[in-house]
Structure 1
Amino acid sequence: MDELDRNLIALLGADARISVATLSRRLKVARSTIQARLERLETNGVIAGYTLKLGEGAREGRLRASVLLTVEPRTQAAILTRLKAVSEVERVFTTSGRFDLLLQVACPNTQVLDQVLDQIGAMTGVRSSESLIHLSTKIDRAV
């Protein structure tokens, strides 16, 4: 990836609906260059898809939390399979350090969050968990 690719990705990260013509004008290159770059970035897996990013208005009424899990050795695959069935679990990351997994969870209220946390904590192989409720978003640069 060169500087043009990085600038192209930055513009798409800010607005995935931006047209090829607008991209070419802003980056001062031919439309065919932008189209070729997009095709290459897609083929190489750098761009996996185009999506929308929900604003705070769409997130209202959703209680978000990060859940840190420590799991028994060799149980991670089975736990991941069970977590896929929990619709409130949005993302799961493996981590280094004290915890093995970091879960991003979204629930409509504290009662549902409590039930989800109990469900996760009761899974065979889960040694311990720690929950952090998200209060507000101060910086969000996620693409």
Structure 2
Amino acid sequence: MNSKIDQFDQKILSLLQQDARMSHAEIGRQVHLSQPAVSERIRRLESSGVIRGYRAEVDPKAFGYQMTAMIRISTQQGRPYTQYVTQSPEIIDCYTVTGEDGCVMKVLATDVEHLQRLINQLNAFGSTSTAIVLTTHVNGKVITPPSV
């Protein structure tokens, strides 16, 4: 754990992860600090890069996406996929990983046909393997210090 993050910072970070729109005064009430002290701590956490940003969580169905899938690509050397995945709005997460697969990505699709078109396009970068997400058990979990 970063030694510059104390118990107050941890509580502030936990509250902001649960509700980024919570006022500094309300955070102060919950962590027993003044509003100016909370504001200063948040400013420091932002400037040091601990807090990387704020954003709204949007339901993909609002844009017509009815399904989520995980696609793995066994990449072939000389076939870079980075530009494609950064420009494709359906690909919402992409990770370079160890093992047989070069990357794992989370994609959104409006239907099975849309998913098939995405898979066909990704096949240009290597062999793909797809799993359709049936249920999400954990999403956007609050990040806390390790328990070890």
- Shorter-chain TM-score category? 0.7 to 0.9
Measured in 2, the distance between the counterparts of 1:59 and 1:138 equals 22
Measured in 1, the distance between the counterparts of 2:106 and 2:68 equals 7
Identify the match of residue 20 of structure 1 among 19, 24, 46: 24
* Alpha-carbon distance, 1:122 to partner: 2.0
* Alpha-carbon distance, 1:141 to partner: 3.9
Measured in 2, the distance between the counterparts of 1:27 and 1:57 equals 36
State whether structure 2 residue 106 is matched by structure 1 residue 104: yes
Measured in 1, the distance between the counterparts of 2:52 and 2:140 equals 18
**Which segments of 5 or more consecutive residues in structure 1 lack a partner in the other structure?**
none
Q: TM-score, normalised by structure 1?
A: 0.86
SS across alignment from 1:122: helix
Could you say which residue in structure 1 is the equivalent of 2:123? 121
Say whether the 8 Å CA contact 2:60–2:66 is kept in structure 1.
no
Same amino acid, percent of matched pairs:
24
State whether structure 2 residue 8 is matched by structure 1 residue 9: no
**RMSD over aligned Cα atoms:** 2.0
Measured in 2, the distance between the counterparts of 1:3 and 1:80 equals 39
Amino acid at match of 1:73: Q
1:1-143 matches, cutoff 5 A: 1-54=5-58, 58=62, 61-73=65-77, 75=79, 78-123=80-125, 126=126, 128-143=127-142
* Alpha-carbon distance, 1:3 to partner: 1.8
* Alpha-carbon distance, 1:139 to partner: 2.4
Q: TM-score, normalised by structure 2?
A: 0.83
SS across alignment from 2:81: helix
* Alpha-carbon distance, 1:84 to partner: 2.0
**Which segments of 5 or more consecutive residues in structure 2 lack a partner in the other structure?**
143-148
SS across alignment from 1:9: helix
Amino acid at match of 2:98: S
* Alpha-carbon distance, 1:86 to partner: 2.1
Cα 1:122–1:56 shift into 2, 3 Å = closer
Q: Give the count of matched residue pairs.
A: 138
**Regions of 4+ moved over 3 Å:** 54-61
